[in-house]
Amino acid sequence: MAYLLGVVLFALAILVSVSLHEAGHMLTAKYFGMKVTRYFVGFGPTIWSFRRGETEYGLKAIPLGGFCKIVGMTPQDDDVDPADEPRVMWRYPVWKRTIVMGAGAVTHFVLAIVALWFAAIFMGLPNPNFPTTEAQFRAEPAVVSLAPCVVVENAARQCQPGDPASPAERAGLRNGDRITAVNGAPVASWGDMLNVVRATPPGPATVSYVRDGAPGTAKVDLAAVQRPPLGNATGAVGPVSAMGVGLAVQKPTMIKYGPIDAFGATGRFTGDMAVGTVHAMQRIPEKVPALWSAITGEKRDLDTPISVVGATRLGGEAVQNDAWQIFVMLFISLNFFIGVFQLLPLLPLDGGHMAIAWFERVRSWLYARIGRPDPGRVDYMKLMPLTYAVILIGGAFTLLTVTADVVNPITLFSR
């Protein structure tokens, strides 16, 4: 029941976001005097509608988005009443058309930023100082967390019966001990400890540590394991020593902020999210083979793109496991991604319409400077093949991600 509730709540949140996107177009268009004839939530048959002024508002049967009809978005629109000609969108100055077309994406950014600000206060945001890269982890103090065993072969798996116990645990080390030396070789960081332990032959070793501010030593019988070279997971596997510990990071993963400090935290996180979103979009083509592999039965890579269906399923999982932080961050990330995606200079996206408007403006300015007549507006009909290609590629990718999310979904929680 909790999973179903989460799915419904996330789907409703997406529907509200898309509806507000279209409302952004509508409100800015009306403000500038453009004629908006329809604003609907959903697609398909009309369930309910009413008319206020010159606009019909309503709800349609298929809740997969929404739309608003602005009269005369392009000169090629053939459904314009002659009386509406002075108010068609394409006749307005380029800056007004830019605001109207960009209002949808801006709405998503506003939703994401407002949600981030509230999350920073009531749930917390990821600690910007928490290590996320190998170099950052290696720079952390060598504070250990005892492993339950040592996996001898080079394999990323859980402990199994027959695996040797952790040498550190057998020697009496505890969670939270900070390693300072191994056989007299000083250790200042987690990276130092890895280097020193792997360079020490398997067998007895003297490990110095600090526990609750007091120094101590322990005799640890280092285990012989198979591992690739540090920093090169694909390198040749060789015999090295292991102590049976992991890194215990001493920094919180999430930080809550006051209402004022939350503005700065929101700004920093938004910047990080912008960079991450652009990088993720750049890597989409290289992830297509992994999506296909997931559909054909291979293990789903957690780094593969997901569709709205996948995001909704993850929202259901988050609620089922009482992980509301994940639910909120999914909502924030999805809105930010949609906002960036809509600004791409491709038809039929909002960014495509803005790009054409500014192309027309710059072209007219250049022609005026060289004494040539204004070439006028872009013929959208000539761009239809490119538009259809974008729709076809986008539709195929959407079908691929939706299929992967149905037959082999990403899951954040073990079942």
Confidence category of residue 414, pLDDT binned at 50, 70, 90? low
State the pLDDT at residue 251.
Answer: 87
Residues 22, 335 contacting (CB under 8 angstroms): no
Rounded Cα distance, 223 and 152, in Å: 8
Average pLDDT taken over every residue of the chain: 92
Report if pTM > 0.95.
no
Handedness of CA 234, 240, 245, 251 (dihedral sign): negative
144, pLDDT greater than 60: yes
Task: Tell me, rounded to whole angstroms, the distance of Cα 218 from its chain centroid.
Answer: 45
Has residue 1 got a pLDDT over 70?
yes
Asked if pLDDT for residue 231 goes beyond 80, the answer is no
Instruction: Return the exposure string of 364-395: e unless at least 16 CB atoms fall within 10 Å of the residue's CB, then b.
Output: beeeeeeeeeeeeebebeebeeebeebeeeee
CA–CA dist 267, 248 (Å, integer): 29
R_g (Cα) of the chain, nearest Å: 29
Grade residue 234 by pLDDT with cuts at 50, 70 and 90.
low
The amino acid at residue 403 is T
Q: Which of 22, 169, 317, 360 is catalytic?
A: 22
Q: Would you tell me the crossing angle of helices 261-282 and 324-342 to the nearest 10 degrees?
A: 60
pLDDT one-digit tens code per residue, 98-120: 999 999 999 999 999 999 999 99
Is 117:263 a contact under the CB 8 Å cutoff? yes
Q: Which residues pair with 142 in a beta bridge?
A: none
169 is an active site residue: no
Q: Are 141 and 212 in contact (CB under 8 A)?
A: no
The tens digit of pLDDT for each residue in 254-288 reads 999 999 999 999 999 999 999 989 888 888 888 88
pLDDT value of residue 233? 66
Q: Which domains does the chain have, with CATH numbers?
A: 134-247 (2.30.42.10)
Q: Write out pLDDT tens, residues 78-93.
A: 888 888 899 999 999 9
